[in-house]
Amino acid sequence: MKNLDDFKKFIIAHTQPKNTALVPEITLYQASKITPIWQASEKWLQENNIEPPFWAFVWPGGQSLARYILDNPEFVQKKRVLDFAAGCGIAAIACALCQAAYVEVADIDPMAQAACTINAVLNQVILDCNTQNVVGASNRWDIILCGDVCYEAPMTRHIWPWLKHCAEQGAEVIIADPGRAYLPQKELEAIRQYDVPTTLELEDCTQRQTTLYRLSIDTHPK
Ligand SMILES: C[S@@+](CC[C@H](N)C(=O)[O-])C[C@H]1O[C@@H](n2cnc3c(N)ncnc32)[C@H](O)[C@@H]1O
């Protein structure tokens, strides 16, 4: 098994620091073309038993969350925030730039943790990038951000009860979804929409309307 330094070297060798049109304030190590990194990653990652490089792209969910936070810094100021399934960590970096009290990123892919670590350095912020599997943990956050997490049925089934549990324990859970098939249709309150430019290499369109939802919990006893 490779270590964090090997992951960081791989990321720096196969990506370039860039920003996105929607979030020009944040620079991230990103793949410029999908095919080369997917191929490079596939061989190297297969040898090391690691997932595809989601962390090398900034998904519409993460971009929308970051835009919302940078435009509404009071939302996260002095709050303890979790960027769940953080990928490259764009939402977490936005929170740190906006003076959140504490920003934790969690992603089951150790390459994503490495990407978040070096992206934090690139943007001169401090993130806690130590957490991998947080699903099932007791809530310790004021805000949980979830960018683009409903792209597979098993993942949605796995995370949804835990997200609801965290919301019941007091966390404000925000889901940013660009119309993925498995987004549950109940218990969501839309709070903001963005048109996010996308690449045809990743999506089947050049723009995705992405909605930020608050997971609303019924607090009235039945
Ligand atoms: C489509 S990417 C979204 C990344 C980022 N939130 C964004 O919007 O740019 C989904 C991410 O979910 C992570 N992931 C999948 N299952 C997870 C789980 N059970 N716990 C934490 N992260 C998970 C993947 O490793 C991947 O980085």
Q: Which residues line ligand 1 (CB under 6 A)?
A: 51, 54-55, 58-59, 61-62, 85-88, 90, 106-109, 112, 135, 147-148, 151, 155, 158
- Has residue 1 got a pLDDT over 50? no
From 148, 149, 198, give the residue whose CB has the most ligand 1 atoms within 8 Å, as the site to mutate.
149
39, amino acid identity = Q
Residue 101 falls within a domain, yes or no? yes
pLDDT per residue over 140-199, tens digit each?
A: 999 999 999 999 999 999 999 999 999 999 999 999 999 999 999 889 999 999 999 988
Residue 221 lies in a domain: no
**Closest C-alpha to 11, from 51, 44, 56:** 56
Min mean pLDDT across 17-21, 28-32, 165-169 is at 28-32
Give the closest residue (by CA) to ligand 1 atom 12. Answer: 85
Identify the pLDDT of residue 16: 92
Digit-coded pLDDT (tens) for 95-147? 999 999 999 999 999 999 999 999 999 999 999 998 779 999 999 999 999 99
Q: Which residue has the higher pLDDT, 50 or 154?
A: 154
State what percent of residues in the chain have pLDDT above 90.
Answer: 74
CA distance 218 to 222: 9
Q: Which residue, judged by its Cα, is nearest atom 18 of ligand 1?
A: 108
Report d(CA 56, CA 31) in Å as an integer. Answer: 5
Residue 33's pLDDT band (cuts 50, 70, 90): low
CA 132/CA 2 separation, integer angstroms: 16
Enter the pTM of the model.
0.93
Q: How far apart are CA 38 and CA 29, in angstroms?
A: 15
Structural domain for 163, as ranges: 4-215
Residue 220 placed within a domain? no
98 C-alpha to ligand 1 centroid (Å) = 22
Angle between helix 34-47 and 4-14 (nearest 10): 160
Of 39 and 86, the one with more pLDDT: 86
| pLDDT (mean) for 74-102 | 98
With respect to residue 91, please indicate whether it lies within any of the assigned structural domains: yes
Tell whether the model's pLDDT for residue 63 goes beyond 80. yes
Task: Please give the distance, rounded to the nearest whole angstrom, from the Cα atom of residue 84 to the centre of ligand 1.
Answer: 7
Question: 12: helix, coil or strand?
Answer: helix
Residue 222, domain member (yes or no): no
CATH number at residue 54: 3.40.50.150
Residue 109 alpha carbon to ligand 1 centre in Å: 8
Number of domains in the chain: 1
